[in-house]
Structure 1
Amino acid sequence: MDLEMITLSEMVREQYTTTTEGTRIERPENQSVYKIGIYGWRKRCLYLFVLLLLIILLVNFALTIWILKVMWFSPTGMGHLHVTEDGLRLEGESEFLFPLYAKEIHSRVDSSLLLQSTQNVTVNARNPEGEVTGRLKVGPQMVEVQSQQFQINSKDSKPLFTVDEKAVVVGTDKLRVTGPEGALFEHSVETPLIKPDPIQDLRLESPTRSLSMDAPKGVHIQAAAGKIEALSQMDIVLHSSDGTLVLDAETMCLPKLAQGTQGPASSLQGLYEICACPDGKLYLSVAGVGTTCHENSHICL
């Protein structure tokens, strides 16, 4: 049994050795070769696309440099516009094509602030709802203000001129009108004092209507270095509701008073007395030893 196993083993070994040493493994003649990568027209298109992207990148970079140079970009701002801690600072002249919204606008210390337009300059104030509450419009022919109240103050915040729907208030010590024809008032004027320049005459005139001066405690008219003249087409009325009318002067002339009948003896004297009618009309009567007003009272009729 053992001898048969040894013999079978040797026979298998010899068969394996002969088969291994002399055997050649034949490979197929037509084998496909697969190349890894991009070749041909795809490769050319890829290179062309990369070149186009490179050109676009260079053009964008050049345009960016040009824009930065033209707009004057800098670490502090753009051109004449500089960013500071307090806000924006603009140097030189600037033109705004659209509305400008700002809380405060100041000029430099050594220059003034100029707002200029070929049509008009309009400044609007709006409430939180966006409605216009105040408007200042400077046009070529008129300056227009739309507001509930218009007020001009002095440097110490004293109101100089105030206008609202009910009244106009002038807060200065003196209102001076320099027009050659003076000031024109269509309605009443209330003031404690009216006086002209030292070298000018004061003239109160109403060409087509009447001129009335009223005061609860009296009207005081004074000409320190000249005369007072009152002219009227009709009547001049001096009326005092509670008091007397006093005409105090060294000489008082009434040249156009009506005169009573003169006698031959009285005409040589040239003396007259002033008489008053019940309606207040004055007339002259020849002076005598006693009053002669009753003799010429027919003038009052």
Structure 2
Amino acid sequence: MVREHYTTTTPGTHLQRPEPQNVYSVGIYGWRKRCLYLFVLLLIILLVVNFALTIWILKVMWFSPSGMGYLYVQSKGLHLDGESEFLYPLHAKEVHSRKDSSLLLQSTQNVTLNARNPDRNVTGRLSVGPDMVQFDGQQFQIKSMDLKGKPLFTVNENETTIGVDKLRVTGPEGALCEHSIETPLVKGVKDVDSSKELRLESPTRSLSMDAPRGIHIKAESGGIKALSHLDIKFHSSNGLLMLNAESLRLPKLPQGTSGDSGTSDGLYEICVCPDGKLYLAVADIVSTCLKYNRVCQLSS
């Protein structure tokens, strides 16, 4: 604290006021001044570096009033050109490609599409993995692109419906069905190779064909074979069984016997037992089925 000295004088005397001994200068000098200038210089350098980095980021990321890089903000949504990589889930109402290109979804592991209800619960999931394509939902349906939107393929918990007019199976082993099939027509593939034939086969079970109004079997350029380890039965509840061919051969049909030996000059007639079994009887002017019906007695 500066101490001041006061000198009293009497009127009429003139004394010289003594000069103050301590003089203080206002300001920053010395090492404090150098530190202040250095700090200001560092602030200016940081400001210039931050401004340069901001300009560089804006230039690299292609920021513009309409968007960022290939991403443009439009009134209908976001428009993205080129390829984009999403590290986290993408939530969108609709995703579609440009008119002149296709939409490609690619992942190193799998691609999963989820549909959620208002409670955020998953109601449908489509997962495309490296080994298989899996769909989880109540129903899976494929529709045509026409205006009517005809369902082509529908799968639910109870049944699988194929809505096309023609189902073609081109595999070497055909189609394997563990249960029944309902269809109006089963047709073989038309090919130059005649070795490809239509086969209906049941290796371990029986094969049954039922129709409310009849069954029509036709071979345009070949024969029809019916092979069975046990019995082959043709049953018509209200109608007749017609075999229309130029010749009908039953090579292993048994020949009935009787007490008398007859000659038929190689002519025979076909007889039927009460249980439906067929046998041959020597032909005569009148029927000889009763005469040679011992085959029916033996079979009973």
Match among 187, 203, 227 for residue 195 of structure 1: 187
2:151 paired with 1:151 = no
**Distance in 2 (alpha carbons) for counterparts of 1:279 and 1:23:** 172
**Distance in 2 (alpha carbons) for counterparts of 1:40 and 1:256:** 132
Match among 252, 263, 266 for residue 266 of structure 1: 263
Question: What amino acid is the match of 2:217?
Answer: I
Q: Normalising by structure 2, what TM-score?
A: 0.86
Question: What amino acid is the match of 2:161?
Answer: V
Shift of residue 170, structure 1, vs aligned partner: 0.6
Match among 65, 68, 71 for residue 78 of structure 1: 68
SS of residue matched to 2:48: helix
**Sequence identity percentage:** 68
Question: What amino acid is the match of 2:96?
Answer: H
Could you tell me which residue of structure 2 aligns to residue 186 of structure 1?
A: 178
**Distance in 2 (alpha carbons) for counterparts of 1:81 and 1:282:** 84
* Structure 2: stretches of 5+ with no match in the other structure: 1-9
Match among 106, 109, 117 for residue 99 of structure 2: 109
Q: Deviations over 1:96-118 (max 9, x none)?
A: 22211221111121111111112
8 Å Cα contact 2:257/2:293 also seen in 1: no
May I ask how many residue pairs the two structures share in their alignment? 281
**Distance in 2 (alpha carbons) for counterparts of 1:43 and 1:25:** 42
Could you tell me which residue of structure 1 aligns to residue 279 of structure 2?
A: 283
Could you tell me which residue of structure 1 aligns to residue 253 of structure 2?
A: 257
2:166 paired with 1:170 = no
**Distance in 2 (alpha carbons) for counterparts of 1:111 and 1:295:** 85
Q: Normalising by structure 1, what TM-score?
A: 0.86
Question: What amino acid is the match of 1:107?
Answer: S
SS of residue matched to 1:295: coil
Could you tell me which residue of structure 1 aligns to residue 240 of structure 2?
A: 244
Could you tell me which residue of structure 1 aligns to residue 108 of structure 2?
A: 118
**Distance in 2 (alpha carbons) for counterparts of 1:24 and 1:191:** 140
Shift of residue 28, structure 1, vs aligned partner: 4.9
Question: What amino acid is the match of 1:284?
Answer: L
SS of residue matched to 1:144: strand
Question: What amino acid is the match of 2:86?
Answer: F
**Distance in 2 (alpha carbons) for counterparts of 1:273 and 1:142:** 63
The 3 A distance-change label for structure 1 pair 29 and 299 is same
**Distance in 2 (alpha carbons) for counterparts of 1:25 and 1:278:** 170
Q: Deviations over 1:27-71 (max 9, x none)?
A: 354365454443344333322221121111111111112212221
Question: What amino acid is the match of 2:180?
Answer: S
SS of residue matched to 2:257: coil
**Distance in 1 (alpha carbons) for counterparts of 2:184 and 2:35:** 98
Could you tell me which residue of structure 1 aligns to residue 7 of structure 2?
A: none
Question: What amino acid is the match of 2:145?
Answer: K
